[in-house]
Amino acid sequence: MDLFDSAPGGPAGGEPDPRAPLAVRMRPRDLGEFTGQTQLLAPGSPLRRLIEPESGDGGGRAAPTSVILWGPAGSGKTTLAYLVARGSGRLFTELSAVAAGVKDIRAVLEQARQALATGAETVLFIDEVHRFSKAQQDALLPAVENRLVTLVAATTENPSFSIISPLLSRSLLLTLEPLGDDGIRQLVDRAVADQRGLAGTVSLTEPARAALVRLAGGDARRALTILEAAAATAALGRDQAVIDLAEIERAIDVAVVQYDRDGDQHYDVTSAFIKSIRGSDVDAGLHYLARMIQAGEDPRFIARRLIILAAEDVGMADPSALQTAVAAAQAVQMIGLPEGRIPLAEAVVHLATAPKSNAVYKGIEAALADVRAGRAGPVPPHLRDAHYPGAAGLGHGQDYQYAHDAPGAVAPQAYAPPGLSDAVYYRPSDRGYERQVGPRLERIRAVLASASRPDRPAEPPADHL
């Protein structure tokens, strides 16, 4: 537990301890130094009014609204809590849900009660609040409801599953996004130049800087940790050190994958990834997946490509492939990386080993080509909507045959517009599930064709469909 009257940086909010980690030393002192989360910090927004009480339209002190900050690691949750305390002039108390118990919570709330008696309000910051048990979260409720403290809770887990409903309903839920590449670059450059950071004792080559931004994956803390480790080895015995790509690799003990998310490598690796799975080479598919993950590619992008591939290249040869790809995308959205690599790999294995067919893709493309060419005749009268007054008088719905009343649930009637009765768009392959679809589809089409050829009965009988 830590209790002080301003955001930490040093005694009474002064200069940070030079022995502190670079990420701590470079923690923003005000909103002017804060990077990202612009959607939450717009003028007049609840969070901005908490940090800058005089920024509201009518001036005056912002109401002490408790907030839950939900976002990935390194997105600024802890920093925002410190800025709330510093900007509002309130006392700041920090608890870690990993170590604190109900006894610690009650002690903090008693301190806050005593402080309030002297006119001092308290901000209670709880990191990793999702690790609190229901009993621990329950212990916070009265203090939050009565505004004994302004709770600022941080979590990387979905609050709907990890935080009790009464606490959620008494707090404002704010969702943070990972920092973009530009934001990470800005933080890295500031840390290199700032006196609180490396004070210009090192410089980065552009490949090293690009690799550092990529490896950070939107996590500011990770970026500064890698930078600090690389600077420590690069600066040995030198007054002015240059951090190159090799220094970055040594700092993280991992070879940096040559992969530019906005350049040729991105498109080349993605192309090889898709073509390997389409070609049923499961090992190559996993290799390119690993390269993309290691290089910091957005896992949601990977998941989207797998969904497209499942529909386009596997299709009806294995209808469950699309289900696997969609499930992998949902899993990645829920759990992120690194665990998300497992459902992504599962989808790669399923799609690569599945039978392949692009018949569905070719079918919709052929249908679209006809529509674009103007082959879109009127809807046959018996298929038109007959539910509104006057429709019957126009012949709408007349002679329509309800499919479920026909043998095999296939009624011999025309469905396509005039001039398209002979159009065949979907031609199933002889692979996987489509091996079963093909013969059945032939029988169905024979029944449907008999509607335009009454002199020729459908063969074989519809009840064998």
CATH number at residue 192: 1.10.8.60
Residues 194 and 335 in one domain: no
Look up residue 161 and give its amino acid: F
pLDDT in tens, the chain (465 residues): 333 333 344 433 456 677 788 888 898 888 888 888 888 888 888 888 888 876 555 545 555 688 999 988 888 898 888 888 777 678 888 888 888 888 889 999 999 999 999 988 888 999 889 888 888 899 899 999 988 998 999 998 888 888 999 999 989 999 998 888 899 999 999 999 999 988 888 889 998 898 888 888 788 888 898 898 888 877 665 556 888 888 887 777 655 555 555 555 677 888 899 999 999 999 999 999 998 888 778 888 999 999 999 999 999 999 999 999 999 999 998 888 889 999 999 999 999 999 999 999 999 999 999 888 888 888 888 777 777 776 676 777 777 888 888 888 888 888 788 888 788 888 999 989 888 888 888 888 888 888 765 555 545 554 556
On whether residue 147 sits in a domain, the answer given is: yes
**Residue 360 lies inside a defined structural domain of this protein:** no
Q: Tell me how far apart the alpha carbons of residues 42 and 40 are, in angstroms, rounded to a whole number.
A: 6
Residue 386 domain-assigned (yes or no): yes
DSSP 94-112: EEETTT--HHHHHHHHHHH
Nearest Cα residue to 36 out of 24, 25, 28, 45 = 28
Give CA–CA dist 112/123, Å, rounded.
9
Same domain, 47 and 147: yes
By the 8 A CB rule, do 44 and 38 touch? no
Q: Are residues 205 and 117 in the same domain?
A: no
In terms of domains, do 117 and 10 share one? yes
Residues 31 and 125 in one domain: yes
- Where residue 23 falls (left for φ over 0; alpha for ψ -120 to 50; beta otherwise) is alpha
Q: Residues 101, 114: contact at Cβ < 8 Å? A: no
Measured CA to CA, the distance from residue 78 to residue 7 in angstroms comes to 10
Cα–Cα distances in angstroms (integers) from residue 96 to residues 42, 102, 104, 195, in the given order: 29, 12, 10, 29
Pairing of strands 2-4, 91-96: antiparallel
In a domain? residue 258: no
Is-contact 299 336, C-beta < 8 A? yes
- Specify whether 398 is located in the same domain as 346: no
- Residue 309 and residue 347 in one domain: yes
pLDDT score for 281: 92
pTM: 0.55
Domain end, chosen from 175, 209, 225, is at 175
d(CA 254, CA 246): 10
| Cβ proximity of 216 and 223 under 8 Å | yes
- The answer to whether position 362 is within a domain reads no
> What 8-state DSSP symbol labels residue 415?
-
Pairing of strands 67-70, 150-155: parallel
68 C-beta neighbours (distance < 10 Å), count: 23
Give the chain's largest Cα–Cα span: 99
Domain span holding position 224: 181-252
Spatial distance between the Cα atoms of 361 and 21, rounded to a whole number of angstroms: 54
Distance CA 116, CA 123 (A): 11
**Omega of the bond prior to 338 within 30 degrees of 0, cis?**
yes
Give pLDDT, residue 63.
56
Record the tokens describing residue 364, joined without a space: 């919709």
Q: How far apart are CA 303 and CA 313, in angstroms?
A: 15
Same domain, 312 and 217: no
71 and 29 in one domain? Answer: yes
The amino acid sitting at 433 is Y
Domain CATH code at residue 12: 3.40.50.300
Whether 414 and 450 share a structural domain: yes
Q: Between vectors from CA 226 to CA 225 and to CA 232, what angle results, nearest 5°?
A: 90
> 158, 155, 151: which is closest to 67 by C-alpha?
151
**Residue 361 is assigned to a structural domain of this protein:** no
Which CB contacts under 8 angstroms, 24+ apart, belong to 48-53? Answer: 50/84, 50/87, 50/88, 50/150, 51/80, 51/83, 51/84, 51/87, 51/88, 52/87, 53/87, 53/88
Neighbours of 26 (CB within 10 A): 25
Structure tokens belonging to residue 156: 């990387």
Q: Which of 175, 191, 218 marks a domain boundary?
A: 175
Whether residue 421 is contained in a domain is answered as yes
Looking at the structure, tell me whether residues 340 and 376 fall in a common domain.
Answer: no
Cα of first residue to Cα of last residue in the chain, in angstroms, is 72
Q: Is the separation of the CB atoms in 125 and 154 below 8 Å?
A: yes
Q: Rounded to an integer, what distance in angstroms lies between the CA atom of residue 395 and that of residue 386? A: 8
**Domain annotation covers residue 358:** no
> Is residue 428 within 8 Å of 434, Cβ to Cβ?
yes
Contact 414, 422 (CB under 8 A): no
- Tell me which of 252, 272, 299 is where a domain ends: 252
Domain count, the chain: 4
Q: Let me know whether 80 and 104 are in one domain.
A: yes
Q: Are 315 and 279 in contact (CB under 8 A)?
A: no
